[in-house]
């Protein structure tokens, strides 16, 4: 069929043609923002889930929903090695400049911009990556003490007062929130706590890997009272079918029910995988008709595309030792697995593998669903590891063999 018309959109955060199965969480945020706007309490949202479940897509859709309702928003992605102040400062400046155009909020917005100037200047020594235009001179004593927790609380309080006077709310969307270091996450939670106490219309919508719940709790024990943590998982079969079938139907293409059932089975309902199978099935089909035979023919193409992009980009970031650790996990199955079982598969102790495991958690490759358990954060990564590291060369030599381990 015509590749130009292909509606499927596999990609990092690329908006799918049909956002199926996410209406409930979108409605939850709509209600939360509505309550904040009229001075009622509402928890911030932190969506957690594995890679490929569509957290980024959902975050972007929620941002559009909020802006359509007249809400001010800022968006930031938290990459590894970038400080939270450097992410928030330029985004808050843009939001405050917009709010300052509302006459009744102009004075408060300008004062918040002065707070932002003091915030950026005082923290520049500690967080050298802060880069933000300064529209007003700082006000002495306003968010300029050089203490992140106190200054961020003051800054967001000023922002909240400006948003309140403008009759709106400010929603801060942060993707990959698990990469924010604990000290900075604690400061953000403290600021939100104070904003909640003052009933100011500022809230956070975050997205991250499952370990984010534990990291937030470690940063501040009261985080569980400030956030709801909706788990974003694979789509239920009916929603996964809609995500696969409707884009083709909207283009006038017939999709056989058994073809849709096979895609749901092959993808396990993970939205990214549904898009990849949909794209490949479209490409091999003809006569505006997708059959189960087309899906079978498309499957190796979809897997190859996933291997080249979705999986490989993560594999290439790992050291040889980390790859061997994950290959041992994959040898045990999809998981989760006891840390002792992984160590046993490698002929090592759990303690000796601790640094490798910690590094993989930091890189977002694995997480611990329960104490002593280890699981992949990337769906079907166990299958990929077996494809990319086949055979037995990755395995450690038998104890006492006296031979060097072969390379991976």
C-alpha distance from residue 289 to each of 7, 122, 265 (Å): 14, 62, 20
Strand residue runs (E) in 40-118: 44-48, 72-77
C-alpha distance from residue 266 to each of 216, 256, 333 (Å): 34, 16, 17
Beta bridge partners of 202: 170
Residue 399: predicted pLDDT? 58
Distance (Å, whole) CA 300 – CA 358: 34
Give the right CATH number for 237-315 from 1.10.3470, 1.20.1740, 1.10.8, 1.10.472. Answer: 1.10.8
Residue 398: predicted pLDDT? 66
Please give the CATH number for the structural domain made up of 23-228: 3.40.50.300
Among 157, 155, 135, residue whose Cα is nearest residue 147: 155
Residue 12: predicted pLDDT? 73
34 DSSP 8-state letter: H
Return phi, psi of residue 255, to 5°: -120, 120
Q: What is the pLDDT along the chain (408 residues), one digit of tens a residue?
A: 889 999 998 877 778 888 999 999 999 999 999 999 998 999 999 999 999 999 999 999 999 999 999 999 999 999 888 999 999 999 999 999 999 999 999 999 999 999 999 999 999 989 999 988 888 999 999 999 999 999 999 999 999 999 999 999 999 999 999 999 999 999 999 999 999 999 999 999 999 999 999 889 989 988 888 899 999 999 999 999 999 999 999 999 999 999 999 999 999 999 999 999 999 999 999 999 999 999 999 999 999 999 998 999 999 999 999 999 999 999 999 989 999 999 999 999 999 999 999 999 989 999 999 888 999 999 999 999 999 999 888 987 765 554 444 444
Please give the CATH number for the structural domain made up of 320-388: 1.10.10.10
Each domain of the chain, given as residue ranges in start order, spans 23-228, 237-315, 320-388
């Amino acid at each position: 069929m015509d590749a130009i018309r292909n509606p499927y959109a596999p990609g990092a955060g690329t908006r799918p043609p049909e956002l199926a199965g996410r209406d409930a969480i979108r409605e939850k945020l709509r209600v939360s923002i509505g309550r904040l706007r009229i001075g009622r309490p509402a928890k911030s949202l932190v969506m957690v889930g594995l890679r490929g479940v569509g957290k980024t897509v959902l975050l972007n859709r929620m941002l559009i929903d909020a802006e359509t309702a007249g809400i001010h928003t800022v968006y930031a992605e938290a990459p590894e090695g970038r400080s939270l102040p450097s992410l928030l400062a330029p985004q808050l400046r843009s939001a405050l400049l917009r709010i300052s155009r509302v006459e009744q909020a102009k004075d408060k917005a300008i004062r918040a911009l002065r707070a932002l100037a003091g915030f950026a200047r005082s923290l520049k020594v500690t967080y050298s990556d802060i880069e933000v235009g300064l529209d007003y001179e700082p006000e002495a004593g306003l968010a300029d003490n050089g203490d992140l927790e106190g200054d961020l609380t003051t800054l967001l309080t000023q922002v909240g007062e400006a948003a309140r006077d403008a009759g709106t709310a400010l929603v801060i969307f942060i993707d990959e929130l698990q990469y924010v270091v604990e000290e900075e996450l604690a400061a953000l939670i403290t600021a939100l706590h104070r904003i909640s106490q003052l009933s100011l219309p500022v809230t956070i919508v975050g997205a991250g890997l499952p370990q984010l719940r534990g990291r937030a709790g470690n940063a501040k024990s009261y985080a569980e009272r400030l956030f709801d943590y909706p788990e974003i998982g694979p789509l239920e079969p009916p929603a996964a079918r809609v995500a696969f079938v409707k884009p083709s139907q909207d283009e006038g293409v017939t999709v056989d029910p058994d073809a849709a059932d096979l895609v749901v089975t092959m993808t396990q309902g993970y939205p990214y995988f549904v898009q990849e199978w949909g794209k490949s099935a479209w490409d091999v089909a003809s006569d505006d008709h997708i059959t189960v035979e087309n899906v079978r023919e498309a499957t190796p193409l979809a897997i190859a595309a996933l291997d080249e992009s979705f999986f490989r980009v993560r594999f290439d970031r790992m050291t040889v030792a980390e790859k061997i650790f994950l290959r041992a996990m994959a040898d045990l199955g999809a998981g989760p697995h006891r840390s002792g079982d992984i160590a046993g598969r490698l002929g090592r102790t759990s303690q000796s593998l601790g640094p490798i495991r910690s590094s993989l958690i930091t890189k977002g490759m694995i997480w611990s669903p329960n104490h002593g358990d280890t699981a992949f954060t990337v769906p079907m990564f166990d299958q990929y590891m077996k494809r990319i590291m086949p055979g037995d060369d990755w395995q450690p030599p038998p104890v006492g063999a006296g031979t060097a381990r072969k390379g991976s």
